[in-house]
Amino acid sequence: MDLIQPAVYYFTRFLRYLMPREPKIECPHPALPPLRGNGRDSESESYGTCSRNLVLYYHNASKDVKDWTITEMRWYKNRRRLEHEYVVFTVQKTNDPAQLLFLRLDRRSTSTVLARKKTEAIIEQEAFERLSEQQKATLRSAVNEEAELLNDRHYLIHSLKKSSSPDYGVEADDTVTHTRNADGLTQATPERAELMATYSNFHIPFYLRDLAIITGVLSDYSETYLLLLQQCYWMARTIVNVVVEMYQPQPPYGITTAAFARAGRLTVASFLGSINKDNPREVAHLVDTIKDSIDKDNKKIEAVHEPQRRLQNERDEAFAERDEIIAKHDRDLAKRDQELEALREENERLRNLQR
């Protein structure tokens, strides 16, 4: 027995040495989560982590906020369970359109919370008590299916936020995933999603750094929301409405599909009506906050870039002055060569006359 354990240990180490390691795939943007090998999507990152990484990335003096541009935004809704909604952004390298990234933005709860909170994940307890037994059963079934999906697929929990309400305490998991598919569907989930709306041709340039600030502001702002479904539907709708207001896609309200009529609604619980609706006043407030955050960040970037730019200007001026001195020296040499050549020609003429 004493010999078997060491033998098994070293044999296992030997096999691991022989097995090929999972290939690492570099992300074109170093501040975003990279795709994984074997055709898999990236690990999910919290809004906060991804937002901070991107914003700080552009504080480097050599980085340009305009290097990556958002070219399209798509709003999806799952067909089953709690009919989760999410948004996918197409990000393009500004000077190299062939380089594309797809970023999926989600707000979910966790399987633990769904299992513990059950119906409170959808509506307040008081409203739940007014439903019929059949309606209650329908909601319980939808929540249980969603909980099983999250638990079975081992969704990573990154940024747990608790409501300020001691009665509900619904936790939200806000994540960004770098996906291989333009529709945001990942290998980690069997979801089937429908496209509800597409927004593109932004009149105002929409940069990746701006998206980072938007997600950070919205994730922090919505801590006061109590309901999972309002949080999920609210996040997708609010992201869309904020982007539409700030960057003015053409056509103004996007291109919608038949599924758009289901936005903010839970089909299996149609008796609830629309769980989430447009809130222009809230969107206007958020837009002001985001614009202020972007303006402050631009000033920070300018403060970082300005010394570098000033130094570069001083170098450019010094090089220009040096080049001018060299050019003047070359002109003087050329003029002297011309004078010497003229003098030689005159001497040659005088010698010829003396002959």
pLDDT in tens, 301-342: 888 777 776 777 778 788 888 888 888 888 888 888 888 888
Strand 172-179 versus strand 68-78 pairing type: unpaired
Q: What is the spatial distance between Cα 117 and Cα 139, in angstroms, rounded to a whole number?
A: 12
Whether 191 contacts 84, CB under 8 Å: yes
Among the residues of 19-132, which ranges form H helices? Answer: 47-57, 111-117, 125-129
pLDDT in tens, 15-61: 555 555 555 566 788 889 888 888 888 888 888 888 888 888 887 76
Q: What is the spatial distance between Cα 33 and Cα 104, in angstroms, rounded to a whole number?
A: 12
Q: What is the spatial distance between Cα 51 and Cα 276, in angstroms, rounded to a whole number?
A: 25
pTM above 0.85, yes or no: no
pLDDT in tens, 185-233: 876 666 788 999 999 999 999 999 999 999 999 888 865 444 444 467 8
pLDDT of residue 268: 62
Q: What is the chain's mean pLDDT, rounded?
A: 76
CA count, 13 A, side-chain hemisphere, 328: 6
Whether 69 contacts 207, CB under 8 Å: yes
Residue 220: name the closest of 296, 297, 161 by CA: 161
Q: Give the other-Cβ count within 10 Å of 305's Cβ.
A: 19
Neighbour-count burial for 287-297, b at 16+ CB within 10 Å, e otherwise:
bebbeebbeeb
CA count, 13 A, side-chain hemisphere, 301: 19
Where do the domains of the chain lie?
42-108, 109-159, 206-248, 277-354
Residue 93 has pLDDT above 90, yes or no: yes
Higher pLDDT among residues 90 and 312, named by residue: 90
pLDDT of residue 205: 95
Q: Tokens 């552009």 label which residue?
A: 58
Packed helices 228-247 and 208-221: angle between N→C axes, nearest 10 degrees: 140
**In which element (H, E) is residue 70 found?**
strand 68-78
Q: What is the spatial distance between Cα 158 and Cα 34, in angstroms, rounded to a whole number?
A: 17
Token pair for residue 264?
């903010």
Q: Which residues pair with 68 in a beta bridge?
A: 93
In one letter, which amino acid is 141? S
Q: What is the spatial distance between Cα 70 and Cα 242, in angstroms, rounded to a whole number?
A: 14
Burial of 187 (0-12, 13-18, 19+ CB in 10 A): middle
- Confidence class for position 119, pLDDT limits 50, 70, 90: very low
Best-predicted range by mean pLDDT (151-155, 234-238, 311-315): 234-238
pLDDT of residue 220: 82
